[in-house]
A and B are shown apart, each in its own frame.
Chain A
Amino acid sequence: MVAVLALVLPALALAHNVAAADRAALAAAHGAQPFIYAYLGAKHMVTGYDHLLFLLGVIFFLHRLRDVAGYVTLFALGHSITLLAGVLGGVHVNSYLVDAVIGFSVVYKAFENLGGFRALFGAALNTRAAVFLFGLCHGLGLATKIQELSLSRDSLLGNLVSFNVGVELGQLLALILMVLLITLWRRSARFDRQAFVANAIIMACGFVLVGYQLTGYFIGART
């Protein structure tokens, strides 16, 4: 498990920030650029492994497509609100802290999937509320990141909406793949046991994210 984490995470870490080349492209673009922003939104989602891990946790034990759609809509609603409000209101939150909370949301969801809350505290939290709440946090992260790009003030709202649409599209794409794979996996007789291990791994990844971001916060890089 350590070996896998060690190999995968540092490589992925590069993917997270909006790439330098994309910034330069945006710097040169003015006015409404629906396709550029939508593409960046989608790219951010597809390569944003922290969002993907959280989504994976959320849909892990959902059997019906209707439930998947329900939870994901809540998540999307949450992050759309904070993305729009955050950028329009010029809210700057330390991106390390936001990302640490996002890492924590991965840990939380994995722990819930392990059955931790039910077994240890006798009651599960309201998952829908939690997913919505963490959706708000994820949106704040997106808002902080998109403000690192220079956004031209004209047609800001339009570009933000485009970015958000892109985020949803990217999310949908990733979800389809995840749901498909898990559905296949669920047919296996050993799914229960493997799912337990898988969620422990997801949780470990969440811990790594928390540690990585908090360290960044405390040594004061990037702020």
Chain B
Amino acid sequence: MTRIESSVSIVRASLWALVAAALALVLAVLPAEYGIDLTGFGRLTGLNTFAGSKEGAAAAGRKAAVASEMAQAPVGADAAGGAPALQVWSVAHPDHFAQRTYEVKLKGDEELEYKAVMSRGDSMLYSWRVKEGSQVYFEFHGEPTEGKWPEGYYESYEKGESTAGSGSMVAPFNGNHGWYWLNLTDKPITIVVELAGYYRDFGLQGQPKSP
């Protein structure tokens, strides 16, 4: 230290730092990072909107992310040809839902895409796991097959590395919805996929895009 400050001014500076930090947290960081908007300032400034779409906010955030992605932009669906925004909590169906277990085999270092055909608003429950317990890189996503969409458009629901995944999804548009898997080991693996819901034709699809 080149200058000795009095205790009073040090304490005062520390308290100011604490107050400034608390304000920055409550007004900006918490709304922006976690969508926790205690004061309404986040909504006022729009800071809270990007809390959901951020990677790293998984778990609690992940559900919000899917929900907000589905509520936003193309899904809200003026892009899909002027259809109204998807706000349906119950969809009745004339048919019984499909339910089946599939085994997907991947060679060492191989990448594959398995998808099902689903209509907008239809839902599916899923669980998949790598039998051998090894890691795969995956991306759960959907590609629209009807309506006006940008060339090569797809919507990513979830991606990462894991040995398993479970969840539920509501198709944001008519199209193919499913997984890209990349075997991260050099040994063959089998992925066991259980699906239940309103989907058709779950199977291998084309050449996978690189992630």
Contact = CB atoms under 8 A, between A and B. Distances in A.
Given A61-B1, A114-B10, A27 B17 contact: no
Contact of B60 (A14, A197, A220): A220
Contact of A196 (B3, B135, B186): B3
B14 interface: yes
A76 to B, nearest CB: 25
A93 to B, nearest CB: 17
**What bracket does the count of chain B residues touching chain A fall in?**
35 or more
B39 to A, nearest CB: 12
14 contacts: A10-B28, A20-B55, A120-B7, A150-B137, A203-B13, A204-B16, A208-B25, A211-B25, A215-B30, A215-B36, A219-B36, A220-B60, A221-B59, A222-B58
B59 A9 contact: no
B24 A119 contact: no
Contacts of A149: 161
Interface of A: 1-2, 5-6, 9-10, 13-14, 16-17, 20, 23-24, 27-28, 30, 61, 110-111, 113-116, 118-120, 149-150, 152, 191-192, 195-197, 199-201, 203-208, 211-212, 215-216, 219-223
B17 A196 contact: no
Contacts of B109: 30
A27 B162 CA distance: 11
Interface of B: 1-7, 9-11, 13-14, 16-18, 20-25, 27-30, 32-34, 36, 47, 54-61, 109, 135, 137, 159-161, 182, 184, 186, 211
Contacts of A197: 13
B135 to A, nearest CB: 5
A209 to B, nearest CB: 9
Contacts of A114: 5, 10, 13-14
Given A6-B27, A201-B17, A208-B21, 20 more contacts: A5-B20, A10-B28, A13-B29, A13-B33, A14-B54, A24-B211, A28-B137, A30-B186, A110-B17, A114-B13, A115-B5, A118-B1, A149-B161, A152-B184, A200-B14, A207-B22, A211-B21, A212-B25, A215-B30, A219-B60
B24 A221 contact: no
A212 B161 contact: no
Contacts of A195: 2
